[in-house]
Amino acid sequence: MLNRYNLQIASLLVKEDDFTLNVQHIIKVTKDKTIATDKRLLIEVTRPDLSYDEFPETEYEYKQDRDFYLTKNEIAKIQKLIPKTKGFPILENIMVSQEKEKTILVTTDLVNTFTMSVKDRDIKYPKTDEIYPKENPVATFIVNAKLLKEIATQVEKFSDVEEKPIVISVYQNEFHKCIKFEAVNNVTEQKMKGLLACLYEKEVGNV
């Protein structure tokens, strides 16, 4: 099954047109995760570890034996079919049923069943598992996502170039870990810098 976290990564995608369809326009849905990329960012989200038996029965057989692909428009449509229920979180998931040459996405509010069909697509999607570094990381930090977002927002407003670059430096000693960030506005010749304190695992729990 799929949930809203599997679908929200579609925000990375470029809206498709009538003539071309490539990796920038689709998310890939495998048996265990969804994948999205705009060729610069790559995001993968694992699927909920829930049994199909927990979802209400419908006329469809829940199964997936092959990968399939969803466009941004298709994801917007299926998101509208997810019922707004209180007390039944299982109903906020989307079930997958596959037949010959198509995938059927299924939701239900216990009274009505809603479906959307997607035809199989022949897409040459990159082997994302091969992109991730195989070496051990030089350093690993846990940071506050809200603070990281605030830094990115400040630099985006400050920087005068389209790429909005941030220079990130990582520091660690026996007392603390922190990330120093720096940016430059070439028009006004101003500089920005700051520190983002990193959290220790004991403060946030193991991840």
Q: From the CB of residue 41, how many other CB atoms can be counted at a distance below 10 Å?
A: 9
Q: Give the CATH superfamily of 4-130.
A: DNA Polymerase III, subunit A, domain 2 (3.10.150.10)
pLDDT tens, position by position, 12-56: 887 766 556 778 889 999 999 999 988 777 889 999 888 888 888
Residue type, 41: L
Mean confidence (pLDDT) of the chain? 83
Q: Which of 78, 83, 75 is nearest to 56 (CA)?
A: 83
Helix (H, G, I), strand (E, B) or coil at 40: coil
Q: Rounded distance, CA 91 to CA 3, Å?
A: 10
| Per-residue pLDDT, 203 | 42
So where are the chain's domains?
4-130, 145-204
What's the predicted TM-score (pTM) here?
A: 0.80
Our measurement of the distance from residue 63's CA atom to the centroid of its chain's CA atoms, rounded to an integer in Å, reads: 23
**186 or 69, higher pLDDT:** 69
pLDDT tens, position by position, 83-119: 887 778 888 899 999 999 999 999 998 889 999 999 9
Average pLDDT over residues 173-188: 73
Q: From the CB of residue 144, how many other CB atoms can be counted at a distance below 10 Å?
A: 13
